[in-house]
Amino acid sequence: MRREPEDKQRDAERTKQRIVQAAVEEFAAKGFAGARVSAIADRAGVNKQLISYYFGGKEGLYRELTSQWQSTESGFADPSLSLGELVAGYVRANAANPAFGKLLVWEGLREGEPAHEFVADMRRNVEALRERQRLGELPSSLEPEAVLVALFAMAAAGVAFPQIVRAVYGEDPASPAFAERYAAQVEALLGALAAG
């Protein structure tokens, strides 16, 4: 029986999704430098040549993961939210998708300068915090750069410091219960900061 073109397309999409899922797991476990294309292919149950075919290699696959995170992020990171609500959304997203948070932690452990796009994105975030200061949501005595670094640390605490979460809360940092409890506290803390 001959396969229809749409069946082939669906198979290709399923294969690409298996590769992406395997890549998330491999990069989260070993970072970009430690991850191997052959290990990703093994996890996905595909020939490693398909990674080059579909994504142009390891770098292209990593870019695809970044693109998928940005797509996820656009669903919860509405800049019109209060700063507390915004960061609480990141806490919940990191708990729901800890592998993506681990990718960011691994990037921080990598030697070298960050990519220009990343630097530009962080500078836009600093400017957004300056605007929040102008609107009175953050005290003007705080450096927006320091606030941004602290916000990233807060949002990624369950991923970056699971041993601290377990020791302090006695909970699994990846659990929805912890994510909700901690997100509410982050939102309250930032609300108190805004109130002065």
3 state DSSP class of 189: helix
If asked whether residues 85 and 60 sit together in one domain, one would say no
Burial (CB count within 10 angstroms: exposed 0-12, middle 13-18, buried 19+), residue 140: exposed
**Among 34, 49, 68, where does a domain finish?**
68
What is residue 1's predicted lDDT score, i.e. its pLDDT?
54
Q: Do 57 and 153 fall into the same domain?
A: no
Residues 93 and 152 in one domain: yes
Q: What is the DSSP string of 35-99?
A: --HHHHHHHHTS-THHHHHHHSSHHHHHHHHHHHHHHHHHTT--TTS-HHHHHHHHHHHHHH-HH
Residue 3's pLDDT is: 58
Domain that holds residue 195: 75-196
110 and 186 belong to one structural domain: yes
Q: Of 20, 50, 68, which residue constitutes the final position of a domain?
A: 68
Question: Can you say whether the dihedral through the CA atoms of 159, 42, 47, 21 is positive or negative?
Answer: negative
**What's the Cα-to-Cα distance from 91 to each of 16, 18, 45, 143, rounded to whole Å?**
28, 26, 32, 22
CATH number at residue 23: 1.10.10.60
Pick from 50, 68, 86: which residue ends a domain? 68
Examine the domain organization and report whether 95 and 124 are in the same domain.
yes
Same-domain check for residues 157 and 175: yes
Whether the Cβ atoms of residue 179 and residue 96 lie closer than 8 Å to each other: yes
CATH of the domain at 100: 1.10.357
pLDDT at residue 100, rounded to an integer: 85
Grouped pLDDT means (10 residues each) for the chain, 196 residues: 58 91 91 92 94 93 87 84 94 89 85 84 96 94 96 94 95 93 96 85
User: What is the number of domains present in the chain?
Assistant: 2
Which of 16, 23, 37 has the alpha carbon at shortest distance from 103?
23
Whole-structure pTM value: 0.81
Residues 25 and 61 placed together within one structural domain of the fold: yes
Residues 126 and 38 in one domain: no
Task: List b or e across 93-107, with b for residues whose CB sees 16 or more CB atoms inside 10 angstroms.
Answer: bbbebbbbbbbbebb
CA distance 195 to 62: 40
Q: In the numeric block, which tokens belong to residue 78?
A: 């509405």
The reply to whether 22 and 92 lie within a common domain is no
Same domain (yes/no): 84, 160:
yes
Same domain, 11 and 107: no
Give the pLDDT score at 117: 86
Residues 52 and 16 in one domain: yes
